[in-house]
Structure 1
Amino acid sequence: MPIVRFIDQSSGQVLEEVAAEAGDVLIDVARFHELPLHWRCGQGTCGTCKVRVEHVGQPGTVKVGRKERNVMLRAGLIDAAMAAAEEWPDTADTWRLACHLTLGEADWRVLLPPAD
């Protein structure tokens, strides 16, 4: 059972530490625990649920779907080269959409950005 620590990116303060299940979608975990993760659609089209994630196994690579890549490009969070790549660097500096992230067995630190 992974432990997810939600961190305020500005202050570094741990907002909440919760137990989750492998296979849970990150945005659902945040919403269930009423955490300040900003979102509008929950379907990967608006780009407001952007986060940065730290976990064991980084750095590495991760497969990213076309929908997430297009939304991130439109939001100005990635460049055209990254939008064309099916695999991205899996690092704590890489923006991802919480509605596209499924938890595995490892613990995660999720950095929540300030509201736009």
Structure 2
Amino acid sequence: MPNVSFFDEAGAPVATLDAVEGDKLIDLAQFHGLPLHWRCGQGTCGTCRVRVVIAGAPPLPVGRLERNVLLREQLIDTAAALSDAWPADGSRWRLACHVAVGDADLAVTLPSPP
């Protein structure tokens, strides 16, 4: 069972949760009352942004809808929007409603409240 560790932007721990493969990060955050802002939950508003680190993982697939939303919200540049896989090193924002837990532990950085 993978662990998902949530941190604030300063790096302080917020929570470490047991997760099931396939759980969406947005669902974990909502269910456990974590401080993650969101509006739609459908992957179109861009408010549930997080940074995800999976140690030693290969680049992760990123869907077209997620890339388009992040580009529209100016959270990524055009070069990133053209790539369908990104490093799992926390260097780019991801949408918590698009990121599903796999079989490895994750470290997730939550943005500061709006």
**Shorter-normalised TM range:** over 0.9
Paired position in structure 1 for 2:35: 36
Any runs of at least 4 consecutive aligned residues in structure 1 with deviations exceeding 6 A, and if so which?
none
Distance, in Å, in 2 between the alignment partners of 1:42 and 1:73 is 18
What is the TM-score when the length of structure 1 is the normalising length? Answer: 0.91
**Unpaired stretches in structure 1, ≥5 consecutive residues:** none
Q: What is the Cα deviation at residue 88 of structure 1?
A: 2.2
Paired position in structure 1 for 2:55: 56
Q: What is the Cα deviation at residue 89 of structure 1?
A: 2.7
The percent identity for this pair of structures is 54
Distance, in Å, in 2 between the alignment partners of 1:13 and 1:83 is 30
Q: What is the Cα deviation at residue 35 of structure 1?
A: 0.3
Maintained 8 Å contact 2:6/2:13 = yes
RMSD (Å), alpha carbons:
1.2
Q: What is the Cα deviation at residue 56 of structure 1?
A: 2.2
SS, match of residue 79 in structure 2: helix
Paired position in structure 2 for 1:19: 18
Maintained 8 Å contact 2:55/2:89 = no
Q: What is the Cα deviation at residue 103 of structure 1?
A: 0.3
Distance, in Å, in 1 between the alignment partners of 2:15 and 2:68 is 30
Matched, 1:65 2:63: yes
**Residue identity opposite 1:35 in structure 2:** L
Paired position in structure 2 for 1:111: 109
1:79 to 77, 86, 94: 77
**Residue identity opposite 1:9 in structure 2:** E
Distance, in Å, in 2 between the alignment partners of 1:29 and 1:83 is 26
**Unpaired stretches in structure 2, ≥5 consecutive residues:** none
SS, match of residue 6 in structure 2: strand
**Residue identity opposite 2:23 in structure 1:** D
SS, match of residue 53 in structure 1: strand
Query: What are the Cα deviations for residues 46-105 of structure 1, in whole angstroms up to 9, with x where unaligned?
Result: 0011000112224x3122111000100011111112112222233221210000001011
